């Protein structure tokens, strides 16, 4: 049913069993009614929500997944700050995967970016963003967007609106001016008369008032919650073992599925003799799908043992011709063809870079290559499905509740309204669990196979990938080739900068540089990657962080300048970037010699609105491999919500990036993935993790993200340190392929 907005845009409030439920943004009546049906009689929540109960408990509904990044705590901190709530009384709930809880604040962040919205347009903008979020099934967690969109446009505004309603209710009840009401720690008071009420006591009266569209926000100097190292809500359950992950789900009568997909991407199942599996104990059924064999049994281990007895025959198709070598050669050829025909797509093109480079007294060129990377989450992919009486229930850790519901509806051939998503804890995400119609490359095969198995058995079925299946059936960070070229003048200044590369995804600003170069261009070719692609932590920043910052280091040495000083000399128009570089130099003692047998390398990235500079201190072991002993990160995210969580994200992101730099690499041979498990795809272990110091610069700039920036510069910082130590410039990853003592290669991918 179409909604016709009235003349007045408004923010609603509702009363439910003595609880105040507040949300902001124009709410279509159909959506409001739907939310009330889901949340309970009289309760309705959307965009950013707060529920205040009679016992004075404040419950914040968070429309994002918790992957360890801490948003289930940081977002409630932002709302509670503006609400002036007692943090000890604050609780958190994850939003249901239903269209009534589509994230309009996230849509506003995606679609308006840095655009300033006049206050008189705020209501209509909220309405449009709300409708856009419904249309896009927008409830995704990724892109380091949670704090800088939902937090800024949702949590803060909702908290301020709820407080304004409570204050107005108290003022009218006590017949005193609103300006004389004090709200603090979930208590309203009127000092002159001595009157006092808790938020829970005043909530029923406050529900009679409309909330303002843009209630005033607190000044930073008045913060009591934001900026403090609050303990995370999700940690106790993870420590005491009570946390339920997707793989822990158990239901009455549940069966278990093991799967073998075509080992060649795009291959099809030709035939399989299922008799050996069906003869085994506990095996219920063998499903023969277009691209997979699924064995269903009464436990996972019996299903996997039976699957191992099968010898499926595959029609491998044209994909069997692909290898890492052929794919990288194809990227090289595509770059050469584009260069010859000047046929490019551009991220940016300022001035005349080719002319400036050609006219420079000195020209520097370099080609870099990166492999595919798997997500390698600690919890392999899994989903549990129960298709019963025309309804479908799904259990699992998903980065996009609404997105996976929409995808599941398509897979199951049913209405999304008949699907219920049950969120569990998530044993790693990094983009791997971001199933969404907006990410068509991310194939939710665990969900697809679980649904097919449940339909076949008329019972709940859990489909859990083996580690080998997870590793070889990922959607990978792209392999890529980049050719960089720059001109230097007689004073060692960059006169022109050309960055050409294969395969571009997100975000488009990943190729941008802050350095003062008047003539510069970033251009790319596409269509060279035949392997499934998906977002990987920091997305294109992880590639261009290595390309650009390695090349900047090459330019510094070509100019015979200190790498840090060279960067600073090219940042006259970027004071925030200068500040983080200067800070990290001070932290690392850049101007003092490194310990014997070690050297330091520096790199810088602006990623997801956060500027970060890193220094890595590296040595080379007797095995010829690099060892990173210490790291320093200076970070300017504009502001810090929870410093403990943010520091953990920078350190964790750096370790994730360090794994990729030192060891990571998915190799394709005959169209299939070579690496099968962690012995083939090494991780940085606890004993290898460097000592890492992190410092924040709160510049007051627009708030940036925290989950991904720490990953982006690591590889370049380590590579630059290796060069400083050995004189070897390594232009392809991972570093494990090279014997850094002799300068030879230990192994080479495909």
Whether the link from the prior residue into 734 is cis, omega within 30° of 0, is yes
Residue ranges of the chain whose pLDDT lies below 70: 1-48, 112-124, 746-750
**535's tokens:** 């977002």
Strand order in the sheet with 58-62: 13-16, 19-22, 49-52, 58-62, 90-94
The answer to whether 722 and 662 have CB atoms below 8 angstroms apart is no
- The strand pair at 19-22 and 49-52 is best described as antiparallel
**3-state SS of the chain: helix, strand, coil percent to 5?**
35, 25, 40
Q: Domains, the chain, ranges and CATH?
A: 13-218 (3.30.365.10), 248-316+381-464 (3.30.365.10), 344-372+476-745 (3.30.365.10)
> Given this model, what pLDDT does residue 138 score?
87
* φ, ψ dihedrals at 612, nearest 5°: -140, 135
The radius of gyration of the chain from alpha carbons, rounded to an integer in Å, stands at 28
Strand partners, 618: 599, 628
> Given this model, what pLDDT does residue 438 score?
77
CA distance 618 to 682: 19
pTM: 0.93
> Given this model, what pLDDT does residue 257 score?
98
Q: What string of H, E and C letters represents the secondary structure of 355-376?
A: HHHHHCCEEEEEEEEECEECCC
Which residues of 424-517 form beta strands (DSSP E)?
461-464, 480-488, 494-502
> Given this model, what pLDDT does residue 102 score?
86
**What separation in angstroms does the CA of 195 have from each of 83, 163, 167, 181, 720?**
20, 17, 13, 10, 65
Tell whether the torsion through CA atoms of 429, 433, 439 and 441 is positive or negative: positive
């Amino acid at each position: 049913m179409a909604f016709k907005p009235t003349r007045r845009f408004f923010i609603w409030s509702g009363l439910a069993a003595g609880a105040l439920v507040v949300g902001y943004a124009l709410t279509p009546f159909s959506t409001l009614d739907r939310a009330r049906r889901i949340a309970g009689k009289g309760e309705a929540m959307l965009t950013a929500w707060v529920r205040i109960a009679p016992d004075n408990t404040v419950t914040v509904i968070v429309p994002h997944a918790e992957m360890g990044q801490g948003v289930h705590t940081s977002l409630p901190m932002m709302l509670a700050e503006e609400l002036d709530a007692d943090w000890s009384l604050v609780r958190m709930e994850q939003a249901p995967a239903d269209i009534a809880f589509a994230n309009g604040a996230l849509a506003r962040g995606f679609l308006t970016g840095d655009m300033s919205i006049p206050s008189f347009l705020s209501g209509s903008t909220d309405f449009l963003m709300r409708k856009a979020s419904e249309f896009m099934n927008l409830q995704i967690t990724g892109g380091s967007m949670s704090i800088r969109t939902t937090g800024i446009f949702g949590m803060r505004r909702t908290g301020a609106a709820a407080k304004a309603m409570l204050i107005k209710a108290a003022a009218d009840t006590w017949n005193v001016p609103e300006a004389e009401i004090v709200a603090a720690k979930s208590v309203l008071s009127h000092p002159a008369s001595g009157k006092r009420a808790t938020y829970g006591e005043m909530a029923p009266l406050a529900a009679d008032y409309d909330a303002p569209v843009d209630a005033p926000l607190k000044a930073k100097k008045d913060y009591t919650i934001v900026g403090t190292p609050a303990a995370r809500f999700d940690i106790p359950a993870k420590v005491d073992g009570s946390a339920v992950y997707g793989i822990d789900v158990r239901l009455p009568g549940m069966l278990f599925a093991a799967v073998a997909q075509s080992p060649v991407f795009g291959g099809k199942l030709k035939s399989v003799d299922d008799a050996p599996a069906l003869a085994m104990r506990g095996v219920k059924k063998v499903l023969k799908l277009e691209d997979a064999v699924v064995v269903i049994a009464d436990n996972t281990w019996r299903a996997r043992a039976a699957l191992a007895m099968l010898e499926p025959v595959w029609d491998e198709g044209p994909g069997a011709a692909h290898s890492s070598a052929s794919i990288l050669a194809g990227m090289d050829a595509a770059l050469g063809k584009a260069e010859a025909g000047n046929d490019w797509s551009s991220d940016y093109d300022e001035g005349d870079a080719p002319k400036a480079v050609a006219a420079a007294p000195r020209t520097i060129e370099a080609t870099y290559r990166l492999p595919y990377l798997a997500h390698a989450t600690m919890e392999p992919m899994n989903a549990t499905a129960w298709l019963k009486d025309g309804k479908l229930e799904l259990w699992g850790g998903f980065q996009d509740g609404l997105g996976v519901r929409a995808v599941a509806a398509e897979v199951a051939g049913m209405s999304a309204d008949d699907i219920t998503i049950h969120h569990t804890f998530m044993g790693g995400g990094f983009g791997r669990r971001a199933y969404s119609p907006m990410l068509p490359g991310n194939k939710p095969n665990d969900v697809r196979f679980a649904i097919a198995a449940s339909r076949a058995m008329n019972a709940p079925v859990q489909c859990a990938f083996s580690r080998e299946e997870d590793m070889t059936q990922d959607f990978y960070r792209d392999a890529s080739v980049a050719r960089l070229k720059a001109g230097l003048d007689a004073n060692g200044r960059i006169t022109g900068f050309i960055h050409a590369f294969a395969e571009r995804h997100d975000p488009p600003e990943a190729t941008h540089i802050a350095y003062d170069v008047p003539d510069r261009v970033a251009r790319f070719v596409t269509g060279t990657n035949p392997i499934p692609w998906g977002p990987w932590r920091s997305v294109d920043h992880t590639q261009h962080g290595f390309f650009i910052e390695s090349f900047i280091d090459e330019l510094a040495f070509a100019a015979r300048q200190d790498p840090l000083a060279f960067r600073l000399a090219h940042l006259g128009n970027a004071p925030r970037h200068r500040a983080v570089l200067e800070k990290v130099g001070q932290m690392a003692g850049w101007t003092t010699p490194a310990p014997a047998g070690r050297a330091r390398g520096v790199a810088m990235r602006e990623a997801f609105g956060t500027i970060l500079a890193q220094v890595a201190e590296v040595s080379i072991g007797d095995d010829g491999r690099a060892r990173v002993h210490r790291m320093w990160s200076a970070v300017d995210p504009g502001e810090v919500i929870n410093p403990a969580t943010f520091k953990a994200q920078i350190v964790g992101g750096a370790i994730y990036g360090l794994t990729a730099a030192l060891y990571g690499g998915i190799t394709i041979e005959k169209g299939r993935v070579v690496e099968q498990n962690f012995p083939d795809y090494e991780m940085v272990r606890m004993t290898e993790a460097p000592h890492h110091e992190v410092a924040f610069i709160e510049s007051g700039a627009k708030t940036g993200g925290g989950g991904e920036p720490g990953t982006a510069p690591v590889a370049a910082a380590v590579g630059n340190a290796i060069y400083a130590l050995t004189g070897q410039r390594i232009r392809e990853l991972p570093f494990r392929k090279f014997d850094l003592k002799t300068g030879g290669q230990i192994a080479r991918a495909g």
